[in-house]
Amino acid sequence: MGAMQWLEATAFSAYLRESLWTYPIIESIHVLGLALFLGFAILLDLRLLGVGMRHVKVSELTERILPWTFVGAGIMVVTGILLFAGDPAKFYGSIFMRIKFLMLGAALLNAWYFHHSSDYLIRLPNWDGSMATPTRAKVAAVVSIVMWCLIVAMGRWIAYFLPA
Amino acid sequence: MLIELTRWLEHSALGQGIHNSSWLFPFIEVFHLIAIGILGGAVLLIDFRLFGWGLKRHSASELSRDVQPVLNIGLVTLIVSGFLLYASEGAKMYFNSAFRFKMLCLLLAVVYTFTWHRRIAGRSEDPEAPPNAKLAGALSLLLWLCVGLGGRAIGFI
């Protein structure tokens, strides 16, 4: 908790907090990053579920679209840290912020687990172009969609229900 | 005319219900945000392809056919959730210049997406980008960006 008070006392944090335009501009970029990150992640999930992007192979999406979701994630992390730095003690104390971080961990673990599963690492060539995707891919996709949508909800509610 | 409709909507059970609830407005906003992601992903995938990025082995027309249902779901969710948000405090938004700018850009973006943009994206079946592709993609990104920035600015004006 001492670290949060230290951060809050820095001139940088005060600048973010008191700026007229900087903070809303960072918020806007955070939401634009959402379109890139969440949008492309959902397209990949729909393909893994076998319900969308039927003419595109799974490997094409993971090779050519996944790098863009990393760009989106990078934008979200950098702008997210800046937003946090504007009012660190309050955000640190927010229950929704804490739930959001737990869910971020779970969502990343889910993605990591699927990308290191034998269905993806070894057997992908068998189902790469098919809409009949393995159960493990479908489960990973549903977990991914649910988790990222809940993370959006937690993020929105942080600003509504800040501790006094 | 529009302002009377807006006032009527705000005083309807729907508008009052959302307005008087402590959690409905932020709850609907979440759907609005998720829809930004869904629509944004679909729009970006097509526009990136028009720029020559991303899924280059597929033509822009094939990709836009694949992604059209996703785009439609995102747009409908955005409009429905946006309408509900408007219902709860429309009279305030009606006179907000950022809101008016946003609605103008939204109208242009929707008309453009379903006409010229769609024609350019659909013109070529071969993987080479059609002529004017980059211009069509840039205009699409610009219009949707204005919608988003206008939306963010509503709360600050």
Q: Which two tokens stand for residue A68?
A: 């863009």
Per-residue pLDDT for B129 more than 70? no
Where does the pLDDT of residue B125 fall: very low under 50, low under 70, confident under 90, or very high at 90 and above? Answer: low
**Both structure tokens of A19:** 């700026």
How many CB contacts within 8 angstroms connect chain A with chain B? 101
Look at B30 and A39 and tell me if their CB atoms are within 8 Å: no
What DSSP state is assigned to residue B130? P
Interface of B with A (CB under 8 A): 26, 29-30, 33-34, 36-45, 48, 54-58, 62-63, 65-67, 69-70, 145, 148-149, 152-153, 156
Q: What is the ipTM of this complex?
A: 0.93
Closest partner CB to A38 (pick from B41, B56, B152):
B41
> For residues A94 and A155, is the Cβ–Cβ distance under 8 A?
no
State mean pLDDT over A30-36.
94
Contacts of B70 in chain A (CB under 8 A): 42-43, 46, 52
- Distance in Å, alpha carbon of B1 to nearest chain A alpha carbon: 33
Identify the CA nearest to A155 among candidates A27, A14, A64.
A27
Q: Tokens 């996703």 belong to which residue?
A: B70
pLDDT at residue A134 tops 80: yes
Q: What is the pTM of this model?
A: 0.93
pLDDT (tens digit per residue) in B75-96: 999 999 999 999 999 889 999 9
Q: Do B36 and A34 touch (CB under 8 A)?
A: yes
Of the candidates B29, B37, B54, which has its C-beta nearest A64's C-beta?
Answer: B54
Q: Which residue matches tokens 């597929």?
A: B58
User: Is residue B19 classed exposed, middle or buried when 0-12, 13-18 and 19+ CB atoms within 10 A define those classes?
Assistant: middle
Question: Which residues have a Cβ under 8 Å from the Cβ of B140 and sit 6 or more positions away?
Answer: B43, B46, B47, B50, B109, B112, B113, B117
